[in-house]
Structure 1
Amino acid sequence: MTFFSVIVPLYNKAAYIENTLKSVLNQTFKDYEIIVINDESTDESKTKVLEFNDEKIQLYTQKNQGVSVARNLGIEKSQGKLIAFLDADDFWFPNHLQELADLYHNFPNSGMYCSRYKIKTTKHHFQFPYFNGIENSYRGIIDNYFFSNFPYRISWTSSLAIPKKTLEKIGAFTPGVTNGQDLELWTKIGINYPVAITNKITAIYHFDIPNSLAKNKIGLMKLMDFEQFEIAEQHDSNLKKNLDQYRIEYGLRYYIFGYTDKTNFYIKDIDLKKSYFKIWALFQIPPFCLRILFNFKNYIKKIGIDFSIYD
Structure 2
Amino acid sequence: MTADGPVLPVVAAYDGSHASVRAAQLAAGAARRRGARLHLLHTWLDVPDRLRARADTDLVTVSRSLAGAGTEVSSSVREGDPVEALRAASAAAQLVVVGHQDGTAHAVAASARCPVVVVPHDLMSIVVRGRRSVVVGVEGSTDADDVLPFAFAEAASRRTDLLAVHAWRERPHTAQQDAEGPFVDWGAVRDREERVLRVALGRWRQRWPDVVVREAVVRERTASVLLAAALTAELLVIGHRRRGPLATRRSTTRAVLHRATGPVAVVPLAPADAS
Q: TM-score, normalised by structure 2?
A: 0.34
Q: TM-score, normalised by structure 1?
A: 0.31
